[in-house]
Amino acid sequence: MSEKRYHVDAAIAEGVGYTIVENASLEGRNSFRVPARANLLIDVRRPEALGELFGYPMLNSTPLLILGEGSNVLFTRDWPGIVLCMVALGIEERGAEGACTRVRVKAGEKWNDFVYWSLARGFCGLENLVLIPGTVGAAPIQNIGAYGVEVAEFIGEVEAWDRHSNSLVRLAKADCLFGYRDSVFKRERDRYIVTAVDFLLPRQRELQIDYAGVREELSALGIGTPTAPTVAEAIARIRTRKLPNPDLVGNAGSFFKNPLIDADLGKLLQAQHPTIPAWEMPDSRVKISAAWLIESCGFKGLRQGHAAVSEVHALVLVNLGGASGMEIWALAEAIRKSVFDRFQVLLEPEPLVV
């Protein structure tokens, strides 16, 4: 391939392990279903192809966005450069390590498919993370979490392309710098491209069912002795009731993080609002419910143009059909301002806002 090929060839260019599309639509590549385009869209099927691709000056001189399934991004405009998607597939058991089995998963695998793959083979641990949209490659970037579990607990190593050294590297769990919805991959977006994740999955583990609503759902299902698959079923039922299906209604799941605030402000808010859900954290900060803050400001179910706050969950912003990214972001900004004016808490978006 040459620089000439980007500009002169037909709309699609093929290489060994990758495909390039010019002036590509991203509307089907983001779960909000908002219109956006990219100058170039590159689908990478083989991580080794990244060496060739990053040998071309354009990839090092043009704005680059790494995109999975687009379930954690809001496009407010076209992307003025290159969008690169890791679409490599494959799941491989690599052998026992203590009480766990190492399982290597390529970045392009769908996260929910992998959760069910693990449950079908007798592994446990990921059942609380069922029905989270997105790819396996995106999971460590965001350190996805739900119902009292974070994915970092089960990650042994992450394989990534390091743009600084122009090579594939393996980062041990400690080097990933995992935090609440955070990681080194999120902090250094311009450096790392996740290509595969090694999970350490146990076959026996104490089930995490103390999160609000889980025990009640298990009881409603008539399950007296839960297992990892039945916990997954219970949580899937809860999520289905609470969160709109992105295949039917454009959304990115929870739009705001639960804010972490200092202890003094936490005590003040709890004194002023005794019903506010709050959790003390190990670092003395307090995590409070973003959904409660938003609902208290009257936004649950509110419609603004073609964008709205979900009627069933105040954390979810939705595209009712025909909304632009700017329209959704304007609603998000209105929510942030209202919450800050009333509670002095600034909500931080979970998705990447372009």
Active site residue 254: yes
Alpha-helical segments (H) within the chain: 3-8, 49-53, 57-61, 111-120, 139-142, 184-187, 214-220, 228-242, 263-272, 290-296, 325-343
Among the listed residues 181, 183, 296, 327, the single catalytic one is: 181
* Residue 45 annotated among the catalytic residues of the structure: no
How far apart (Å, rounded) are the C-alpha atoms in residues 18 and 48?
Answer: 10
Please, which residues bridge with residue 25 across strands? 37
What does the alpha-carbon distance between residue 264 and residue 305 come to, in Å, rounded to a whole number? 38
Displacement of CA 180 from its chain's centroid (Å): 12
Q: What does the block give as tokens for 328? A: 């959704």
Q: Is 350 a known active-site residue?
A: yes
Q: Which of 31, 71, 254, 324 is catalytic?
A: 254
Asked if 330 and 304 count as a contact pair (C-beta separation under 8 A), the reply is yes
Check if the beta carbon of residue 209 is closer than 8 Å to that of residue 215: yes
Report how far residue 184's alpha carbon sits from residue 147's, in angstroms, rounded to the nearest whole number: 23
Query: Taking phi first (over 0 means left), then psi (-120 to 50 degrees means alpha), and beta for anything else, what does residue 149 get?
Result: beta
Q: Give dist(CA 342, CA 351) in Å, integer.
A: 24
What amino acid positions are annotated as catalytic residues?
A: 181, 254, 350
